[in-house]
Amino acid sequence: MTLSNKKKIKKYKLFLFGGNRLKEEGPLLKTAIFLKKNKFSYICFVHKTHLKKKISKSKDLEDSLIEKKINFIKLSKLNNKFIRRLLDKDAFGISINSIWKFKPSLIKMFKGNLFNYHASDLPTERGAANLSWKIMMRKKINSSICIHQINNDFDEGNIIFKKKVKFNWNLLPYQNLKYVRNIEYKMIKSFIMKFQKKKFKSKLQNNSQSMYFPRLNSDRDGKICWDWKADDIVLFIKAFSKPFNGAFSYLKNRKVRIFNAKKIKSKIKFHPFQNGIIYKYHKKNFYIASEKNTILISEKDITGIRKNKKYYLGKKFK
């Protein structure tokens, strides 16, 4: 469905704005399937970049939305005038993994009934890429996921729903996400059902506890600095691991991606100039100098290298 359709305009009760996470079937698609199955009056607004995002090896989001016969509209910018024509009485909207900044005029249009699913704690984890930031910051406390009202500032609206989740910064992102998926899906469904009955309370956020970190892009932000401490390098690599595109570095002008690593103590103290040098390849593992430590990377956790692994002995990551 596109804006150029000349069919009679239908009114909708529930508006979904957003998309899916990379290489996952949620959260927007799973929510939309739930709405369709339960015969909700709904419509999805999806940014064109989200539609091309792969949710599996063979399908992108647009393929799946069409296959599941989900009502959706492809947009690059939100069209307030068009959305107003679709609004039914007492309609409400949910932003799920959306990349849009909602204008005050659109927020006002929903009369306080425009919400956002935030896949992390509020107000301590505002912004985006919170899973990666948590890993890099070694967060040891349990986190939460939230649904909050949308206002004129990112992630600052009143909290409607909040659910505690376990988090382990020693795990890779996909391992933490596997646990969170079922909880978030149940929470979003529960919110939708309770909203129908007007059974929810809002809670002000404590702005004095707020922290905000920006969105990350593996291809732009994932470059490894081999002069960092070994622990920080390992955590950085984990933070950009699957389902993301991986942290990256260069070997002899070849871009390589690294998805996991671990620190092992070394009896040898390397000079800082040796940081990043592959000094050993043994049992399908690369050993990289890192001052008082060694960073070990399994062959299976690195892509973009030649078949002859011993070629890289003595080579330095840049």
* Contact present, 44 and 19 (Cβ < 8 Å): no
Instruction: Answer yes or no: do 134 and 164 share one domain.
Output: yes
Instruction: Answer yes or no: do 145 and 269 share one domain.
Output: no
pLDDT value, residue 177: 85
227 DSSP β-pair partners: none
* Beta pairing, strands 212-213 & 126-127: parallel
Nearest Cα to 163, choosing from 125, 127, 118? 118
Q: Does any domain span residue 317?
A: no
Instruction: Answer yes or no: do 180 and 32 share one domain.
Output: yes
Instruction: Answer yes or no: do 245 and 308 share one domain.
Output: yes
Query: How many separate domains does the chain show?
Result: 2
Q: Does any domain span residue 7?
A: no
Instruction: Answer yes or no: do 190 and 232 share one domain.
Output: no
What count of Cα atoms within 13 Å lies in the side-chain half-sphere of residue 184? 29
Max CA separation in the chain (angstroms): 75
Name 195's Cβ contacts closer than 8 Å, sequence gap at least 6.
Answer: 92
Instruction: Answer yes or no: do 295 and 156 share one domain.
Output: no
Write down which residue in 213, 243, 258 finishes a domain: 213
pLDDT value, residue 5: 47
Distance from the first to the final alpha carbon of the chain:
47
Instruction: Answer yes or no: do 120 and 17 share one domain.
Output: yes
CATH of the domain at 148: 3.40.50.12230
Instruction: Answer yes or no: do 177 and 239 share one domain.
Output: no
Q: Does any domain span residue 140?
A: yes
Write down which residue in 213, 235, 253 finishes a domain: 213
pLDDT (tens place) for every residue of the chain, 318 residues total: 444 444 567 899 999 999 988 778 789 999 999 999 999 999 999 998 899 888 887 889 999 999 999 999 998 899 899 999 999 988 999 999 898 889 999 999 999 999 999 999 999 999 999 999 999 998 766 789 999 999 988 899 999 999 998 888 888 998 888 888 889 999 999 999 888 766 678 899 999 999 999 999 999 999 999 999 999 999 999 999 998 999 999 998 899 999 999 999 888 899 999 999 999 999 999 999 999 999 999 999 999 998 889 999 999 998
Q: Does any domain span residue 50?
A: yes
Instruction: Answer yes or no: do 205 and 259 share one domain.
Output: no
pLDDT value, residue 271: 96
Nearest Cα to 231, choosing from 239, 219, 220? 239
Instruction: Answer yes or no: do 152 and 65 share one domain.
Output: yes
CATH of the domain at 235: 3.10.25.10
The parent domain of residue 44 ranges over 12-213
Q: Does any domain span residue 187?
A: yes
Q: Does any domain span residue 3?
A: no
pLDDT value, residue 4: 43
Write down which residue in 184, 213, 242 finishes a domain: 213
Cα distances (Å, whole numbers) of residue 170 to 139, 165, 296: 10, 15, 16
pLDDT value, residue 142: 72
Q: Does any domain span residue 1?
A: no
**Is omega for the bond preceding 243 within 30 degrees of 0, making it cis?**
yes
286 DSSP β-pair partners: 281, 297
Instruction: Answer yes or no: do 58 and 177 share one domain.
Output: yes
Q: Does any domain span residue 5?
A: no
SS (H, E, C) the chain: CCCCCCCCCCCEEEEEEECECCCCCCEHHHHHHHHHHCCCCEEEEEEHHHHCCECCCCCEHHHHHHHCCCCEEEECCCCHHHHHHHEEEEEEEEEECCCCCCCHHHHHHCCCCEEEEECCCCCCCEECCHHHHHHHCCCCCCEEEEEEECCCCCCCCCEEEEEEECCCCCCCHHHHHHHHHHHHHHHHHHHHHHHHCCCCCCECCCHHHCCEECCCCHHHHCECCCCCCHHHHHHHHHHCCCCCCCEEEEECCEEEEECCCEEEECCCCCCHHHCCEEEEEECCEEEEEECCEEEEEEHHHEECCCCCHHHHCCCECC
Instruction: Answer yes or no: do 227 and 199 share one domain.
Output: no
